[in-house]
Chains A and B, each alone.
Chain A
Amino acid sequence: MTSLEATDLSAVSKRHPDVFRSRPWKRYGPLMLILAVIGYSFYCWWFFSIGDALRKANTDIAGAYLADWISWEARPVIDIESDGAMTITFPRFSPLGSDPRPDWLEADREMRTRTITRDAPAVETKALNDKISNSFMVPDAKGTKPENGGATSFMAPGAPTGGNAAGETATVTETVREEVVSRAVVTFDSADRVEILPDQATVTRGDETLVIRLGPGENVSVDGPLPEWAEQKYEGRKVIARFGFAGRAEIDHDGVKVYKRFLGWENFVFDTNSAFWGKSFGEVMSMIVSGERVNPARSNLGQAWYDILYNAEWQHLDVWTKLLQTIIMAFVGTLFATVVAFPLAFIAARNITPNRLVNQLAKRFFDFQRSVDMLIWALFFTRAFGPGPLAGILAIFFTDTGTLGKLYSEALENIDDKQREGVRSVGAAPLLVQRFGVMPQVLPVFLSQSLYFWESNTRSATIIGAVGAGGIGLKLWEAMRTNQDWENVAYMVILILGVVYAFDGISNFLRSRLIGESAR
C-alpha cells in the first residue's frame, strides 16, 4: 500500500482545494435538519395544544385504570344509621355474588329492636355504582353513539305515593326487630385495617393509627395530625385513607365506603350466577363427575361448559368468536387479494404484456386501490353489509389487491429473461412460457409477500374492526369506552398478542422455507 506523508497530504489538498472544501449544505445540512425538527416540534406543541391537554390530564385515573388491567375491586358500603345500627351492603352484580360474607370483612352482628322512620313505600333508586352485568355496550349499526347503559331501567318511573292523601312528605314509623352490625373490621393487608364503630373509625396502617370520630351530627374529626396516606379535603367532612394498591376507604359520618383491591381477574371461569361459582377445582370436578344435575336439561359437564362460554362478565364465547373473525378477515382478505392480484400483475408487468396502455391501466388500478385508504373501504362496506367480518374482508381485499399487485408486477419486471427465452425457444405456447419460464422464479417471492401481508393484516384487522368492520376491534373499543372493563381489555390484548406472535412465527417460518433465510 502506498502511504502518504503529512506534507504530501497537505500538498494534495492545496492542489485540489475544491475536493476538500465541504459544501455548505453538506456541512450545515444535518444541523439545519435537526433545528427544523425542533422547530416543528414546537409548532406541534402549539398546534395540538399539547401543554393544555397534559395539564388537564387525569393522572389519578390513569393509575386506577392500569391497576384494573390486572386486578379487581370489591366495594362494600358500611352504612351507619342515626341510631347507631350499621348495615353492610355490596353493590348489585358485585363480583362476590349476592350477600357475601368475605373473611376480610369481620362483623359483629346482633339482633336489635329498632324504631325506624322511612319514606313511604320506598323504592330503591340508588344508582348502580358497580358495573352492570352486560357492561359491554350494544354496538349500533353506524357506530356513532353508545346506547345508554341499562342503569336507567332499574329506576322505578314515578314511584307510587302509597295512598297518602295529605300529600305531605310521606313517612312511616315502624318498629322492627332485625339483625344489625355493631362493629365491622375491614382488613386490607396484614398490618392495615379499618375498624368501624358507629361513632368512631380506627384506621391502622403499619404501626400508625388514626382515630376518626364520626359525629356528633355530620361532623367528622380526626384526633391528632393527619398522616400523609390520609386526606381530608374539607374540615369536618369525609376522610379518605389510602392503602396503596390494596385499596382505600372513604370514611364519612353516615358510613364507610371500602374499595379493596385484589390481584387477578375475578370470576374468570364462572360468573356469580353459575352453580359452579366459588367452588374449588376439585369440587367442580366432583360435581361434574358424580354430582346431581344442576340443570335438569343438561349434564353437569354441559352446564359447566355453557356457564363458561356465557360468562356474563368475560363473555368468552363472544370474545373468541370475534377473535376468530379478525383472523378470518386477515386470512380471507389476503387470500382473495393474492388470487386477484396474481393475474393482474402479469398484465401490469411491462415485460410480460407488451401493450403500454394495458400496463398503465392495470398499474393505475393498483394505485387507486391502494390510495383509497383501508379505512374508506371499511366504512363503505360497513355501510353496505352491516357491521361484521364481511366488511373487513372486503376492505382488506380491496386495499391489498392494489398493494400486492404493485409488488407482484415489480417482481415480474425484475425477472431473469433467460428462462423465458429458453422455454419459448423450444416452441412452448404463451401460457406455458409463463408457467415454466416465469412462475418458478417469482412464485416464492409472491408467496412470501402474501404471507407478510397476511401477518401484517392480522394487526390492521384489529384496528379497522373498531370502525365497525367486525372482529375483536369493535369489542375492544366498546370495552374501553365504558372505562369499567379494563380487565376485559387486558384479556383481549393478551389474546391478540398471542395471535400476532403466533402468525409472526408461522409466517417467518414459511417465508424462510420458501426463499431462504434472506427473506427475514
Chain B
Amino acid sequence: MATVDNTTPLSEAGRVIETHWREMTSRRRLYTWGGLAVVLLALSGSLWFANETNAGKFFDRLPYFFDFFIDLAPRDALEPFRALFDLPSPYDDGSFKYNYPEGRVVLTSWLYVPEYFYKMLETLNIALLSTLIGFTFGFLLCFLAAKNLNSNRWLRGTVRRIMEFLRAFPEIVIAGFFVAILSIGPIPAIIAVSIHTVGALGKMFFEVVENADMKAEEGLRAVGASWVERVGYAIVPQVMPNFMSYFLLRLEINVRASTIIGAVGGGGIGEALRLSISRGHEAKTIAIIFLLFTTIVAVDQFSAWLRRRLVGDQAFDFGR
C-alpha cells in the first residue's frame, strides 16, 4: 500500500483530529476485543456445560462415532435398494430388520406402493395441508394486522400479539396435547404445524401488505368502495405474488417440520426414520435418508423455480 509520510508536522486542527481519530479507533478495538472475549467465555462455559450434562462425553464417544458409521454399512450394496422398494431380501430371517415386503401398501394384486414412499407421501401431505390451512388463516388475519388497512390500534395490536403467540408457542406441545386427545397419528402433526404456520405466514403477509402501493386503494376509496372491496381489488392483486412466494417458502420449511414432528409421534417418514435408526436397521435407515434427502432437494428446487417465476430474483430464503 502507499506509504504515509509521518514526518510532516500537523497543524493544530490536524492534531486534534488525529487524537480524536486515535481515541475512536482504540475504543472501537476495545469493544471488538471485549465482545470477542465475552463470546469466547460464553462459548467455553457453554461447551463445558453441554459436555458435563451430556449422557456421553464428547472425547470418550468420538472414537465410537466412526464405529457407528461403519455399523451403518448394509450387508450388500443392493440392500438399501430392496428396503426402499420393499423387495424381498436374501437375508430375511423373519426379524424386523429384513422384512421389507411386509410394509407394502397393496393397491391391487400386483401393484403396491412401497412403505417408505407411502410414508413420505403422508409427510408431504401433512406439510401441504398445514401450509394451506396456515395460508388461509394467515391471509384472513394479515389485513387486520397491517397498519395501512386497519387504523384501529387495539384490534391491530391484538391480532399481532395472537400471531406472535402462535409463532412462539412450541409446536411439540400442541402436537403432544392433541396426541393425548386424538391418539397418535398425523392429525396432531397437522394441527401443530398449521398453528405455527398461521403465526409465521401472518407476520410475513402483513409486512408485505404494509409495503403495498396505496394508490390503487385510494382510487377505490375515492369511488366509495367498502373495506372488503378495497382490500380485494387494490391490495390482494399486488401482494398475491409475494404471498405465493412465502407460501412456497413455508412449504419447504414445513416439509422439514412435519418430518420432525412425525418423529415425536406424528407418524409419517420421521417416525420410520427414528425407529430404524434406534433399532439399528442399516439398510432401512439408508433407504429412508436417501428418500428424504431427494424429496427435500426436489421440493426446494421446485419451490425455488416457481418462486423465481412468481417474483423474479428476490431472495426470500432468509426468514423462516
**A-side interface residues toward B, CB under 8 Å?**
37, 40-41, 44, 47-48, 50, 53-54, 56-59, 61-62, 65, 141-144, 321, 324-325, 328-329, 331-332, 335, 367, 370-376, 379-380, 383-391, 393, 403, 406-407, 410, 426-428, 432, 449, 452, 456, 459, 462-464, 466-467, 470, 473, 476-477, 480-481, 483, 489, 493, 496-497, 500-501, 504
Q: Which residues of B contact A48 (CB under 8 A)?
A: 122, 125, 129, 185-187, 190
Shortest Cβ distance from B189 into A: residue: A48
A and B contact pairs by CB, cutoff 8 A, 5 listed? A40-B128, A328-B50, A371-B293, A497-B169, A501-B168
* B317 is an interface residue with CB less than 8 A from chain A: yes
B264 touches A466 (CB 8 A): yes
Identify which of A56, A65, A371, A387 contacts B182 (C-beta below 8 A). A56
Q: Which residues of chain B come closer than 8 Å to A403, judged between CB atoms?
A: 317
Please tell me if the beta carbons of A57 and B182 are within 8 angstroms of each other in the complex. Answer: yes
Residues on B with beta carbons closer than 8 Å to the beta carbon of A452: 318-319
B168 to A379, Cβ gap below 8 A? no
**B56 close to A (CB within 8 Å):** yes
Q: CB distance A41 to B55 under 8 Å?
A: no
**Is residue B8 contacting chain A, with contact meaning CB distance below 8 A?**
no
The proximity string for B residues 48-66 relative to A, scoring 1 for CB distances below 8 Å and 0 otherwise, is: 0111011110100100110
B273 CB–A CB distance under 8 Å? yes
Determine whether the beta carbon of B170 is less than 8 Å from that of A386. Answer: no
User: How far is B252's CA from A370's CA once the two chains are assembled, in angstroms?
Assistant: 12
Q: Which residues of A contact B129 (CB under 8 A)?
A: 40-41, 44, 48
Q: What 1/0 flags go to B203-221 for Cβ under 8 Å of A?
A: 0000000000000000000
Q: Is the CB of A57 within 8 A of B263?
A: no
B contact residues around A59 at 8 Å (CB) = 181
* List of A residues within 8 angstroms of B277 by Cβ: 379-380, 383
Give 13 new A-B contacts, CB below 8 A, not counting A373-B292, A379-B278, A473-B172: A47-B125, A53-B182, A58-B181, A332-B50, A335-B43, A371-B293, A374-B256, A383-B278, A390-B50, A426-B2, A464-B260, A470-B53, A480-B173
Tell me the B39-86 residues at the A interface (CB within 8 Å): 39, 42-43, 46-47, 49-51, 53-56, 58, 61, 64-65, 68
Q: Does B270 contact A (CB under 8 A)?
A: yes
Given known A374-B260, A386-B54, contact A61–B181 (CB-CB < 8 A) = yes
State whether A367 and B297 are in contact (beta carbons under 8 Å apart), knowing that A379-B263, A452-B318 are contacts in the complex: yes
- B56: A residues at CB distance < 8 A: 385-386, 388, 390
User: Are A37 and B50 interface neighbours, CB within 8 A?
Assistant: no
Check B125 against A497 for contact (C-beta < 8 Å): no
> Which residues of B have CB within 8 Å of A410?
315, 317
Taking each of A48, A373, A374, A477, which has the highest tally of chain B beta carbons within 10 Å of its own beta carbon? Answer: A373
Interface of A is mostly: helix
Partner among A144, A393, A428, A463 whose Cβ is within 8 Å of the Cβ of B170 = A463
> Is the C-beta of B245 less than 8 angstroms from some C-beta in chain A?
no
A427 CB contact (under 8 Å) in B1, B122, B273: B1
Chain B residues packing against A (C-beta within 8 Å): 1-2, 39, 42-43, 46-47, 49-51, 53-56, 58, 61, 64-65, 68, 122, 125, 128-129, 132, 165, 168-173, 176-177, 179-183, 185-187, 190, 256-257, 259-261, 263-264, 270, 273-275, 277-279, 289, 292-293, 296-297, 300, 315, 317-320
B171 to chain A: which residues have CB within 8 Å?
A: 463
Interfacial chain A residues near B275, Cβ < 8 Å: 144
B160 to chain A, nearest CB (A): 13
Residue pair A428, B296 in contact (C-beta under 8 Å): no
B292's nearest neighbour on chain A, judged by CB, is A373
A367 to B296, CA, bound (A): 10
* A375 near B260: Cβ-Cβ < 8 Å: yes
Partner of B65, one of A370, A385, A489: A385
In the bound assembly, the distance between CA atoms of A44 and B123 in angstroms comes to: 12
Cβ–Cβ contact A385 & B54, under 8 A: yes
Q: How far is the CB of A265 from chain B (nearest CB, A)?
A: 17
A-B pairs, top 9 by smallest CB distance, nearest first, are A388-B54, A386-B55, A480-B176, A386-B56, A142-B278, A389-B50, A328-B46, A384-B65, A466-B264
Q: Are B46 and A373 in contact (CB under 8 A)?
A: no
Residue of B nearest to A63 (CB): B181
Known: A65-B177, A379-B277. A385 touches B55 (CB 8 A): yes
State the CA gap A390–B177 with chains docked (Å). Answer: 28
Residues of A within 8 A of B172 (CB): 462-463, 466, 473, 476-477
CB distance from A406 to the nearest CB of B (A): 7
A376 touches B61 (CB 8 A): no
Measured CB to CB, the closest approach of chain A to B290, in angstroms, equals 10
| A44–B190 alpha-carbon span in the complex (Å) | 11
Q: Are A449 and B264 within 8 A (Cβ)?
A: no
Minimum CB distance partner of A69 in chain B = B177
Instruction: Check B51–A390 contact: CB distance below 8 A.
Output: yes
B43 touches A467 (CB 8 A): no
Which B residues are in CB contact (< 8 Å) with A456?
320
Q: Point out the residues of chain B lying under 8 angstroms from A379, CB to CB.
A: 263, 273-274, 277-278
- Please tell me if the beta carbons of B50 and A393 are within 8 angstroms of each other in the complex: yes
Alpha-carbon gap, A325 to B54, bound state (A): 9
Compute how far the CA of A219 lies from the CA of B186 in the bound complex, rounded to whole angstroms: 45
Residues in A whose Cβ lies below 8 Å from that of B128: 40
Residues of B within 8 A of A489 (CB): 173, 176
Contact assessment for B292 and A376 in the assembled complex, using a CB-CB cutoff below 8 Å: yes
Q: A48, A65, A496: which has the most chain B beta carbons within 10 Å?
A: A48
Contacts of A406 in B (CB 8 A): 317
A493-B173 contact in complex given A375-B273, A386-B56, C-beta closer than 8 Å: yes
Chain B residues, CB < 8 A from A387:
54-55
Q: Which of A141, A390, A426 has the most CB of B within 10 A?
A: A390
Nearest CB in chain A: distance from B15 CB, A: 25
Q: Are A65 and B181 neighbours in the complex by a CB distance under 8 Å?
A: yes
Chain B: minimal CB distance from A233 (Å): 22
Chain B residues with CB under 8 Å of A470's CB are: 50, 53-54
- Which A residues are CB-close (under 8 A) to B177? 65, 480
Q: Are B168 and A375 in contact (CB under 8 A)?
A: no
Residues from chain A with Cβ under 8 Å of B50 in the complex = 325, 328-329, 332, 388-390, 393, 470
- Which of B165, B173, B292 is most buried by chain A, counting CB atoms within 10 A of its CB? B173
- A326 smallest CB distance to B (angstroms): 10
Chain A residue with Cβ nearest B190: A48
